[in-house]
Amino acid sequence: MSYHIDQLHPGMSASLAKTVTEADIILFAGISTDVNPAHLDEEYCKGTMFGGRIAHGMLSAGFISAVLANKLPGPGTIYLSQTLKFKAPVRPGDTVKATVTVREVNVEKNRVILDTVCTVAGKTVIDGECLMMPPVRAKDAGGTA
């Protein structure tokens, strides 16, 4: 289901949760070409401030995109901008919960601002906001929406 601009209002929220696996990290490294040893080399990471491997920040941020595309506003949504503040690391095996909450709706411009947050065990690991263009209603045969 997709929400159109006239169906959205401040306070609407949707979430999803995903456990970050070893395969997720390796596949993301391959797709993004981000092969930073902080994500892939446990020995190297033992000497870092994190004391162990961490998942790519953008992998976790991608879960925000999944909520927007699949739940709120849903299929057909166009991402226009996103801010991200990385607050804490995500480690292999962590379950990331991504939540989006409608903050502002501009019907005339077909734009929505949403607060975005990712948490692990209730602790914020990413927060930010995004600007979206929700899907536009298909015109019916009579030319009305």
Is 114 inside a domain boundary?
Answer: yes
- The per-residue pLDDT for 87 is 97
Rounded to an integer, the average pLDDT of 58-63 is 96
pTM exceeds 0.85 for this model: yes
* CATH code for the domain in which residue 109 is found: 3.10.129.10
How many structural domains does the chain have?
1
Write out the residue range of the structural domain in which residue 120 sits: 5-133
Token readout for 115 is 């607060």
Residue 22: pLDDT above 70?
yes
Integer CA distances (angstroms), 99 to 3, 25, 92, 123, 143, in order: 16, 21, 20, 13, 36
Distance, CA of 80 to CA of 111 (rounded, Å) = 9
**32 inside domain:** yes
- Note the pLDDT tens digit of each residue in 70-122: 999 999 999 999 999 999 999 999 999 999 999 999 999 999 999 999 999 99
Does residue 39 register a pLDDT over 60?
yes
